[in-house]
Amino acid sequence: MTEEEQDVQIYIHRSETTELRLIEVEDTISVRELAEEHAGPGAGAWLEDEEESLELDVVVSEVITERGHVHVAKKCKKIAVTVRYGEPLTKEFAPSATIAKVFQWATGKKGFGLTPTERAKHTLGICGTNTEPDRSEHVGSLAGPDCSLCLDLAPKERFEG
């Protein structure tokens, strides 16, 4: 490493796994090198909650902050997210969209239009499972190989008994 080069730590999110990686790379490597190292040839990269993918030929220090979150994906570059709350609604998101962002959309005016009181009493769960994803998780990490994700907007429960 030359004097000008510095290491930068980056959180890497990947497809079909919620395992998060905190890696350290020289800040002079390109986004392409970063994406391909963690997701294979032809992979793209997205900053968290950004719809547009990163330019692949820029160096990471120009676009990724220290301990920033980046999603890398080779196949699923858009995720079709369906939220069920009575009638299902579907919207395409970048794979780096967080569950928090999907919740904002699903409960907002372009989604099911919940009131603040109703919003406080609902949460998102993965359809057909007992999994309630964390708000920080990326839709690209939760989606299957068909690049889609189904979520139920369900009432939060008070713990009684």
Give me the residues that bind other proteins (CB under 8 A), please: 11, 20-22, 67, 69, 116-117, 119-121, 123, 125, 130-132, 134-136, 156-161
Nearer of residues 36 and 152 to other proteins, judged by Cβ:
152
b/e 28-52 (16+ beta carbons within 10 angstroms → b):
eebbbbbbbebbeeebbbbbbbeee
Nearer of residues 2 and 117 to other proteins, judged by Cβ:
117
* Residue 127: half-sphere exposure toward Cβ, Cα within 13 Å: 13
The owner of tokens 């547009």 is: 52
β-bridge partners, 81: 91, 149
Nearer of residues 27 and 132 to other proteins, judged by Cβ:
132
